[in-house]
Chain A
Amino acid sequence: MIDERLLKSEEKAIFSLRSLYKKYGYLPYKMSKFEEYEIYIRNKDFLVSDRIITFNDTNGKLMALKPDVTLSIIKNGEDIPGYKQKLYYNENVYRVSDSTHNYKEIMQAGLECIGDVDLYDVYEAAYLAAKSLSLISDSFVLEISHVGILSEVLDEICSDEAFKKKAIGFISEKNAHDLAALCREYGIDGENTDILTSFITVYGDRDKVLENLKSICSSCKGDNAKSALIEFKELSEMLKKSSMSDRIIYDFSVVNDMNYYNGIVFKGFVDGICEGILAGGRYDKLVQKMGRKSGAVGFALYLDLLEQLNASKPDCDVDVLLIYDEQDGKARVAEKVNKIIADGKTVSAQKKEPPRLRYKELVRMDSGEEKI
């Protein structure tokens, strides 16, 4: 039997997430820690960072410590119409930390649905993302957006790649003032500036967001934004019925990485953790770049961040410190240790009092039993 009190937040999460994903038919996927470096060079655009830890294997081949799990999953598997590969994983990846600029080991758990993906699968992934967050904390938020709408609006307003890149950056920062200045610099008119700014300012309530999107999409010449809106509306309708609907907000400043994602995207936050703990969405572009005809949806949870939730520290290391000396029969020591454990306490048997061990009760074997 596992004593749940001993588990850290991240350890508890792994158990409960595994059981959740299994219920929905996702199969475990265990992979090697290494991958050929070449795969990352070919797909550099899809990586969070191109700084990767590399080494030569015994045959001289250049290998990498995995910076990403999804690429390794996609490269295996076949495309069969109507078929979807549903997998979950719990792996460590190695990336450069933005704040320290050093390599960091990141514990990731997540799921991927690859194949003939439809709206149900996107709903399932979004629902499971919300459910995963709810298993970690009652106070969470899942933000949902659709990058297809912003992508088309940007293409129609200004085709300059540098403009688009900067505008996306400002939108993700909710930085309306610099976005307006950028629009002025590129000669974008007031109406289009307002449209772009509304991606920042209109968020939260589903109906309010939908109304804004409707007016944005009606001004688009192409059909991509309109079909993206239909998809977004249908998904939000389905999610509205879930018991977690008050924890799901709609925010189009969530763009995640637009190189990677092309449709519905989501991001999850837990109260008490200073950054996003979950990121995911639809990523057909990546799958197609890898030579497959499929679509894909999935998300990753950064479990190492759960350490921030382990705020309460125990005030002692063991309940009982048992001190014995050379003359004490070892069988008696063993008997005493087992008795203390049988009483439901933790015990450390030592010959001398360790300098930094914190305990509630001191028991000496030599001179009877002394309590402090």
Chain B
Amino acid sequence: MLNVALPKGRLGEKVYAMFEAAGYECPSIKENNRKLIFENAEKGVRYFWVKPSDVSIYVERGAADIGVAGKDILLEYSPDVYELLDLNLGKCRMAVAAPKNFYDDGDRTLRVATKFCSIASDYYAGLGRDIDIIKLNGSIEIAPILGLSDVIVDIVETGTTLKENDLEVVSVILPISARLIANKSSFKFNSESIEKIMRSIKEQVDKK
């Protein structure tokens, strides 16, 4: 039985459609209920919905053999997993944003509000810039407005939220997209089925 951790939400639904097209369908997943685990014994596959930021934990710890996680999460937590495929889904950018007309004169420690402490630290360490990280769990955009921070490091999809809060992208750290990941140990013992899924999903990605 292959255990697949899917991220809850729209991205997860798109990913499931790819698994379905790869021949690993599980019709019960489309029933409108609150169940989180769905199994198709005949196809030897079990799906479960988890919080997107938790997918890599399930996979790293072997509760899921494979899963789909955003590159942001993989960079932030560096789980010891295989990153098999870029799904080209859920595309966005990890960026530094600041109030319009913000100018960093480099004179004092830069206050950075973010959910992604590790990515932000690595980025500014690369620039040799001294920063003060302020870890927030949501509504990051209001931090510079209220004077809590000078800039934010966050995911930017369309930029609408930034615009509505009078912020703009100052620099792009890196592009983000969803990745197919696998537990390193499970990959050794289920390589045939994981490779089969991988090949089929890659064909679908390449076609788009």
Contact = CB atoms under 8 A, between A and B. Distances in A.
B188 interface: yes
A139 interface: yes
Interface string B173-188: 0000000000111101
B60 A274 contact: yes
A166 to B, nearest CB: 12
28 contacts: A98-B78, A98-B80, A99-B57, A99-B61, A139-B189, A141-B188, A143-B188, A173-B81, A173-B83, A174-B83, A174-B84, A175-B83, A175-B84, A178-B83, A204-B191, A269-B185, A269-B188, A269-B189, A270-B185, A273-B62, A273-B185, A274-B60, A274-B61, A274-B183, A274-B185, A274-B186, A275-B60, A276-B184
B24 interface: no
How many chain B residues sit at the interface, stated as a range, is 10 to 19
- Is chain B's binding surface mostly helix, strand, loop or mixed? mixed
A269 B184 contact: yes
A275 B83 contact: no
A271 interface: yes
A177 B80 CA distance: 17
Nearest to A254: B184
B185 A275 contact: yes
- Which of A98, A177, A178, A270 has its CB near the most chain B CB atoms (within 10 A)? A177
Interface string B51-86: 000000100111000000000000000101111111
Given A274-B61, A274-B183, A177 B188 contact: no
A178 B82 CA distance: 12
Interface residues of A, number: 19
A99 B83 contact: no
A141 B189 CA distance: 8
Interface of B: 57, 60-62, 78, 80-86, 183-186, 188-189, 191
A276 B82 CA distance: 13
- Which of A204, A269, A273 has its CB near the most chain B CB atoms (within 10 A)? A269
B83 A271 contact: no
A204 B192 CA distance: 11
Given A143-B188, A269-B185, A174 B82 contact: yes
A275 B189 contact: no
Given A204-B191, A271-B189, 12 more contacts: A98-B78, A141-B188, A173-B81, A174-B82, A175-B84, A178-B83, A249-B188, A271-B185, A273-B62, A274-B60, A274-B61, A274-B62
A275 B62 CA distance: 8
A256 B10 CA distance: 37
A141 B184 CA distance: 12
A178 B179 CA distance: 11
Nearest to A143: B188
B60 A99 contact: yes
Contacts of B81: 173
A271 B57 CA distance: 19
Nearest to B198: A174
Nearest to A247: B188
- Is chain A's binding surface mostly helix, strand, loop or mixed? loop
Interface string A271-314: 10111100000000000000000000000000000000000000
B68 to A, nearest CB: 14
Nearest to A274: B62
Interface string A129-158: 000000000010101000000000000000
A276 B86 contact: no
- Which of A99, A175, A276 has its CB near the most chain B CB atoms (within 10 A)? A175
B85 A177 contact: yes
A177 B83 CA distance: 9
Contacts of B57: 99
- Which of A178, A271, A273, A274 has its CB near the most chain B CB atoms (within 10 A)? A274
For the complex of A and B, list the 7 residue pairs with the smallest distance between their C-beta atoms, beginning with the closest: A274-B62, A177-B86, A175-B83, A141-B188, A174-B82, A269-B185, A173-B83
Contacts of B62: 273-275
A276 B78 CA distance: 16
Interface string A250-280: 0000000000000000000111011110000
A318 to B, nearest CB: 33
Contacts of A269: 184-185, 188-189
A240 B78 CA distance: 36
A215 B3 CA distance: 37
A249 B189 CA distance: 12
Nearest to A180: B86
Contacts of B85: 177
A141 B62 CA distance: 16
B80 A275 contact: yes
Contacts of A99: 57, 60-61
B74 to A, nearest CB: 9
Contacts of A273: 62, 185
A276 B185 CA distance: 7
Nearest to A169: B78
B4 to A, nearest CB: 15
Nearest to A98: B80
Contacts of B80: 98, 275
B157 to A, nearest CB: 20
Contacts of B82: 173-175
